[in-house]
Amino acid sequence: MICVQVEPVFQNRKAITDGVEEVISLKNFTLVSFTVLVLLASSLAHSKTVIKVQMIMGKDSPEYVMANKFATDVLALTGGEVVLKILPKLKTTETKGLLERINKGEIGGGIAWTHYWSSYHPATMLFGSPTAGAGLGFDNISWVSWFLYGGGRELYDQLWSEMGMNIKGVMLQPQGPEALGWFKEPIKSMEDFREYTYRAPPGIPGQAYVDLGVDAVTMAGSEIFPALKSGTIDAAEWCCPMPDRIFGLHKVLKNYYLQGIHQNVVNTDMYINGDLWKQISTQNQKAILIAADASMMHTIAWRMHENGKALKDLTDNHGVILRDTPKDYFTEYSQAAQKLYKKFSSSNPFFRKVYDSMEKFAQSTVPFWAQAQSSNAQIGSAYANKIKK
């Protein structure tokens, strides 16, 4: 049974009451008048759909904050007709099986990172975490441009049927670029990197590290800090300054490398059971999608501000040393990622279809955006260097 609650909601109660008094006061009260009154009351009533949305992120996560903002916007845009109850991850919450539960209607919805489902289909990586900018120069903003105006949204809708899932996906939160991460000692080259046991993300990003000879392991976010303390791993990536600080990684390691490309584009999305989605009115479906598009812009803006504040706190107050990533990392990692893209493109038709769409879009858009961003980077760096002195 789908976890959805439908409740009658009546608005303009005074208008209905006044209407009753007016009709009753008429001398010629007729059955027709009564019928009109019933229809009036019916037109002023609507049903409220409450959807429980299970996250794989905890209550202290940035994703939870922005998911609740999105839910608030949906509530406002649907006039209270669609209520998303955002449920943070608990100790008993299991990521594995979440999609199956939504697909079967055992739970109404969920929120996770798109690329977490790469075991179902490799193309999820192109939507959730196109490693090294998909080898096409994408960053978060140019990826959103492709998603909204290059056919990405339509391909994303097709993804779920390719996966055999009765699910409506809704893209919500761009989060990159993610940092290369935290190291016990400074690294000057990829040879230094290979000396570490490194927590890496799942899917193509982690596999590219393994292909490069890095001792890369994957584990849940909640396991990273204990693994660092125990010495099971001695280097790790999670995300960005704000989430990394929440996890307390700076309490164990002090050498921080902000420039990474394994997940320079990262996306969080929401999943709603397909049958439940069809029960929502067309108008409210549109309202949800509008709120989702707004969520993407709000997430980029909010996380930029929060990550900036967190990085300043880490370097000013916690002894964190911000270091430049070795140059050979970018070359070697990009080449490893490209080999994986070729592998999946040759073996999976839908992966190839999505990648071809991204490549066509990138050929006209990325050269312009790269030049524009180069100017932005120059003036930003000039200011950052000025206040550093």
- Give the chain as a 3 state SS string: CCCEEEEEEECCHHHHHHHHHHHHHCCCCCHHHHHHHHHHHHHCEEEEEEEEEEECCCCCCHHHHHHHHHHHHHHHHCCCCEEEEEECCCCCCCCCCHHHHHHHCCCCEEEEEHHHHCCCCCCHHHHHCCHHHHHCCCCHHHHHHHHHHCCHHHHHHHHHHHCCCCEEEEEEEECCCCCCEEECCCCCCHHHHCCCEEECCCCHHHHHHHHCCCEEECCCHHHHHHHHHHCCCCEECCCCHHHHHHHCHHHCCCEEECCCCCCCCCEEEEEEEHHHHHHCCHHHHHHHHHHHHHHHHHHHHHHHHHHHHHHHHHHHHCCCEEECCCHHHHHHHHHHHHHHHHHHHHHCHHHHHHHHHHHHHHHHHHHHHHHHHHHHHHHHHHHHHHHHC
Burial of 120 (0-12, 13-18, 19+ CB in 10 A): middle
pLDDT digits (tens, 9 = 90+) for 293-322: 999 999 999 999 999 999 999 999 999 999
Structure tokens at 156: 């994303």
Q: Report d(CA 330, CA 316) in Å as an integer.
A: 28
- pTM for this prediction: 0.85
The model's pLDDT over 333-352, given as tens digits with 9 standing for 90+, comes to: 999 999 999 999 999 999 99
Q: How confident is the model at residue 388 (pLDDT cuts 50, 70, 90)?
A: confident
Average pLDDT over residues 361-378: 94
- Are 4-175+268-303 and 181-265+309-349 the same fold in CATH? yes
Query: How confident is the model at residue 222, as a pLDDT?
Result: 87
- For 12-16, what is the mean pLDDT? 36
Please give the Cα distance from 265 to 358 (Å, whole number): 13
Domain ranges, ordered by start, for the chain: 4-175+268-303, 181-265+309-349
What pLDDT is recorded for position 102? 98
* CATH code of the domain made up of 181-265+309-349: 3.40.190.10
Neighbours of 46 (CB within 10 A): 18
Identify the band that residue 249 occupies on the pLDDT scale cut at 50, 70 and 90: very high
What is the rounded CA–CA span in Å between residue 185 and residue 366? 35
Architecture, CATH, for domain 4-175+268-303: 3-Layer(aba) Sandwich (3.40)
Q: In this structure, what is the dihedral angle of CA atoms 357, 363, 367, 368, given to the nearest 10 degrees?
A: -70
Answer whether residue 357 shows pLDDT above 70.
yes
192-214 mean pLDDT: 94
The encoded tokens of residue 61 equal 């996560």
Q: How confident is residue 38, by pLDDT bands cut at 50, 70 and 90?
A: very low
List pLDDT tens digits, range 274-286.
Answer: 999 999 999 999 9
Cβ-contact 256, 180 below 8 angstroms? no
pLDDT of residue 204: 87
Q: Give the tens place of pLDDT for each residue, 97-120.
A: 999 999 999 999 999 999 999 989
pLDDT of 14 over the 50 cut = no
CA–CA separation, 183 and 257 (whole Å): 8
Q: What per-residue confidence (pLDDT) applies to 46?
A: 59
pLDDT above 90 for 22: no
For residue 41, which phi and psi values (nearest 5 degrees)? -65, -40
**Lowest-pLDDT choice from 32-41, 46-55, 104-113, 217-226:** 32-41
CA nearest neighbour of 311 among 260, 256, 261 = 256
Q: Are 227 and 184 in contact (CB under 8 A)?
A: no
% of the chain at pLDDT higher than 70: 88
- Whether 180 has a pLDDT exceeding 60, the answer reads yes
Residue 16 confidence (pLDDT) above 50: no
Instruction: Look at residue 167 and tell me whether its pLDDT is greater than 60.
Output: yes
Choice between 14 and 74, residue whose per-residue pLDDT is larger: 74
Average pLDDT, the chain: 89
Mean predicted confidence (pLDDT) in 205-216: 95
- Upstream peptide bond of 177 is cis (omega within 30 degrees of 0): yes
The model's confidence at residue 327, banded by pLDDT at 50, 70 and 90, is very high
Q: Which residues contact 277 (CB under 8 A, 6 or more apart)?
A: 168, 285
